Amino acid sequence: MSILIKIAEIEAEMARTQRNKATAHHLGLLKAKIAKLRRELITPKGGGGGAAGEGFDVAKTGDARIGFVGFPSVGKSTLLSNLAGVYSEVAAYEFTTLTTVPGVIRYKGAKIQLLDLPGIIEGAKDGKGRGRQVIAVARTCNLILIVLDVLKPLGHKKLIEKELEGFGIRLNKQPPNIGYKRKDKGGINFTSTCVQTELDQDTVKSILAEYKIFNADITLRSDSTADDLIDVVEGNRVYVPCIYVLNKIDQISIEELDIIYKVPHCVPISAHSRWNFDDLLEKMWDYLKLVRIYTKPKGQLPDYTSPVVLPDEHTTVEDFCLKIHKSLMKELKYALVWGASVKHNPQKVGREHVMIDEDVIQLVKK
C-alpha cells in the first residue's frame, strides 16, 4: 500500500471524525501519523538516493535569497526579467520555465538573489511534476513570493499554501513556544504555563508514543495545538516570511484594487506593465529584515556605497567580523561605532555589542 493511499485514508478518517473534547486525543494521533508519512515522502527510505534533479538548486549568492513560487503562467518569469533584467524564457503557454532561473538585484546596497522556480501543480508535495525539487529549493529561501493571478487568487493561494505546508514550510508564522527535551529515563514530564484548549497530558503522551518517545520534558508556554507539538517533535520545519504578489492588476477595476490592498501580506502589481514595483521592493526589504552596517577606514570618510549586510538576529560586532573573515576576530582589539545603537559618537565597544541598521563601524586591531 503506497504512502499516498495511507495518507488519503487517514485524511478521510479525520474528515469523518467530529471535533470535540472526546475525539481530540484520537485526532492528535492521526495528525502525528500523517506527519510521519509526509516525512517519508520527502526523504524516501533506503538512503541510497537516486540522481538529484538536474540543474535544480542554485549556489546561494548575495545577502538574501527570494524564491518566486506559483502556478504555471502567472507571470513569475516576466516579474523576474523586469525586476532583475535577467532573461527567463517567457511564453503564453504553461510550464515554460523548467529549471531554476537565478537573477540578482541590488537594493539599498544589499545584493539579493531572486530565483524563478518552475510552476508547481496540485499534488507537488506528493512528488507530482517537479514539485518536490521546487519546494526543496523554496525551503532554502529567506523570503517566498507567492505569485498569484489576480483573477483567480484565493483558490490558488490555498492550494500553494497546502503544498508548502505539506513540505514543512510554515509561512508568516513564528516557531511554537514549546520546550521539548528528550531524556533517557523518567517518563513524560508535562508542564503548561497557561490554559490549554486543545492539548492535555494524555494527548501529548499519545502523540509522543506515535514517535516512540516515552521519556521527555514538554513545556507548553502558549496555547498550543497538536500540529504545533508535531512540528516541534519533527524538528525539520522552516519558518519563512511570505508575500503574496497579485499579478495582472491591469485587468481589474480600481474598486477591486482597493479591496486587494486591505489583504495582509499582499502586494498588487503588473509585471508586464511594471506597475507598483517600488512598493513590492519596499515590502520585500521589510520582510527580509536585513541590517546594513557601513565601514569606516581609519582617517577616512565612511563608505556608504557598499554596506556589509547582516540578518536581523545576528548583528553583533562578532557577527560583522565573521561575515568579512574568520581571522578578524583574533586580531580585534575593540571597535568604534557611530549611530543609533550607541550613546556617544563614536563609542568604544566590544565584540558583544549589538548594532542596528545604518550604523558605522571602525575596527581597531591589536
Identify which of 74, 70, 66, 68 has the alpha carbon closest to the alpha carbon of residue 271. 74
What are the residues facing 146 on neighbouring strands? 69, 244
The CATH architecture of the domain made up of 289-363 is: Roll (3.10)
Residues 93 and 73: beta-carbon distance below 8 Å: yes
Identify which of 115, 20, 16, 101 has the alpha carbon closest to the alpha carbon of residue 64. 115
| Residue 119 backbone dihedrals phi, psi, to 5 degrees | -65, 140
Q: What is the pTM of this model?
A: 0.75
Give the rounded distance of the alpha carbon of 350 from its chain centre.
Answer: 32
Identify which of 115, 164, 173 has the alpha carbon closest to the alpha carbon of residue 135. 164
Residues 243 and 267: beta-carbon distance below 8 Å: yes
- Long-range pairs for 257-262: beta carbons < 8 A, 24 or more residues apart: 260/150
Give the rounded distance of the alpha carbon of 213 from its chain centre.
Answer: 28
Residues 191 and 220: beta-carbon distance below 8 Å: yes
Query: CA 134 to CA 353: how far, in whole Å?
Result: 39
- Amino acid at residue number 155: G
Residue 93 is predicted with a pLDDT of 45
One digit per residue, the tens of pLDDT, for the chain of length 366 reads 677 788 888 888 888 888 887 787 788 888 888 888 777 766 655 554 444 444 466 777 788 888 888 777 777 777 877 877 655 555 544 445 556 667 788 888 888 888 877 766 555 555 555 556 777 777 888 888 888 888 876 778 888 888 788 778 888 888 888 888 888 888 888 888 888 887 888 888 888 888 888 888 888 888 888 888 888 888 878 888 998 888 888 888 888 888 878 888 888 888 778 888 888 888 888 888 888 889 988 888 888 888 888 888 888 888 888 888 888 888 888 889 998 888 988 889 888 889 888 889 988 888
- 269, HSE (Cβ side, Cα atoms, 13 Å): 28
Query: CA 276 to CA 68: how far, in whole Å?
Result: 17
Identify which of 342, 301, 293, 347 has the alpha carbon closest to the alpha carbon of residue 320. 293
Query: CA 213 to CA 216: how far, in whole Å?
Result: 7
* Domain residue ranges of the chain, discontinuous segments joined by +: 1-42+175-232, 62-170+236-285, 289-363
3-class state of residue 147 by DSSP: strand
Residues 211 and 247: beta-carbon distance below 8 Å: no
Q: Which three cell numbers stand for residue 108?
A: 539599498
CATH class of 62-170+236-285: alpha beta
